[in-house]
Structure 1
Amino acid sequence: MNWYYALGDQRQGPVSDSELDALIASGKINENTLIWKEGMANWQPLKDARPSGPGGEAVPPGWIRCTATGRYFPPEEIVYLDGKPYSAAAKESVLQGVMQTGALPGTELGRNGPPWENRDQLGFFPAIWQTVKGCLTEPAATFANMRRDGGLGAPLGYLVITSWAGGLVTILSQAVIQLGTNPVLSQNQKTPFPMVWGAGMLVAWALLLPVIAIINSFVTSGLTHLALMICQGAKQPFETTYRTYCYAMGSAAALQVIPICGAYASGIWGLVVLCIGISKMHEISTGRAVLGVLLPMIVCCAVIVFVVVAVAGGIAATQAHH
């Protein structure tokens, strides 16, 4: 039976079962890689499409999962490389992969997410949903499996789509609340007077939201990366930080669909997800990641306080002279 597998947004194959096992052992694909064969309704992660145990049987107690293949083996067939378990059958292919690439399967070569960048296989809306769900509910696992490179276009597109949708829902809900609680009626009409003006503002905001999201993404991620460099946490280039920001804050933007408190939940949980994402993508401690994310905010707040105090002091001094 021939298999097809996805690398980024490209379909590869067909390959046989043995060839697929060799790809897994070499680290080119892993248990999260999307695969498909004739008879399957949709593309699925390898771990779901192929049984973990030999022959499709249930995994016996005490068996250990091979890092390279995702399958389970008895302890006597497991060897450890760099502290990670690999099956003895995969050992030769794994070592060849290390000699060629300098990395063990399951580390950098094992990063093939997020689902949004596999949307050609998953479909547009399923890819968005799986990315949002993964980032918000399992951020550590999601970012540990996310590619550090791959360009800025895909993450930026994801951020613009989710931010636009979430922001539009927030604006609409606020407009409905205002019209319901404070209808200002004109003398000659029985409809809210500011409705036409409000519709114009809605259109303006709908056009501005993507622009704001794009500008904010580069400014904020740039400051975050600079802060990471200052606190010696920038183990990867700016591209990695930018991708992390887009997927973290883009996913959190989906929380804006929650009435009233959605915007607050989005901001707070977005920062949490961003800190976790930075930690996993740069492979640094959580504390250092938190410092890198919060340092620009702390500096900005300090500058604002300084300016306010200086202005207030100037006004007070002027009034004292009079």
Structure 2
Amino acid sequence: MLKVYRAGALGGIAIGADSAPEMLEGAVWIDVADPLAWEGPLLREATGIELPSRADMVEIEASSRIFREGDASFMTVLLVVGIDSDNPTSVPVSFILTPERLVTVRYSDPQPFRSFAGFCEKSGVPGTPFEILTRLLDNIVDRTADILERMATEIDSLNGTVFALRTPSGRRLSTDDLTIILRRIGQVNFVLNKVHDSLQTLMRMSSFLAVPSREPELRQEKQIREELKSVARDIASLDQNASYLSANVGFLLDAALGRISIEQNAIIKIFSVGAVVFLPPTLVASIYGMNFTYMPELEWKLGYAWAIGLMVLAAVVPYLWFKRKGWL
């Protein structure tokens, strides 16, 4: 879908397949979501901008993601989407900045774009493409900060679960509980890796825009230049926070694996105690279960009680001895 935003207008106008190139004239922001086959030629005829393909947008080389052609700056970043679903991922978004307009190309619907479109519908579209770019970056940074805050909350929850002696219901952590903990840790680590990749692309983009000779118009707009510097500082701060959270996730993973070892040792300990308690009585019972003709105890009236008492004593004495030594 191709949407055109003009300075001062409330919201954007969707462009159809039968629209003339003149419909794009005067647009300060052109948002292209899930480009159709006819939208690329229409945009090229109206603005001279060639839309990048999806394959171009996922190139990992920095020179393929950020470059300049004529008076147009092409910048591709990764944004984290689907954080509220079971399958969060990162998607590429391209920003094409010219002195006349900003063109965004995306194959998803990131929350920062929805928020900014809603802002334009209520307060009007900003007057220059640089203001629009700055506001979009602000929204992206805010959304990334929200994701990191959510991951920090999840890490705190995991920390309490991993180091808790028992579950809220009062029972020990089971194999299913520990499996769920490992899955949650893996999910948090997966999201943090995606956020880190996103912040790296945003840092390259902000560095690209910060070059004084990059955009002559930015030298004339002191306020926008200061806002871009503020965004760059926020991105660097978020990257440090993401690294800190990743270190905490690594610690939690080690702690969870240690907890699993403790639980496994506890199970083995139970079997060991059972062996200690029942092995000596079994020995006594085996002796008196022998089918020899001459056994003195067979003629005793208290022979049965003697055997039972001996088995109990054989079980209790080793248990008390091990308990006193602290082995149990």
Q: TM-score, normalising length from structure 2?
A: 0.29
Q: Which has the larger radius of gyration?
A: 2
Q: TM-score, normalising length from structure 1?
A: 0.30
Higher strand share: 2
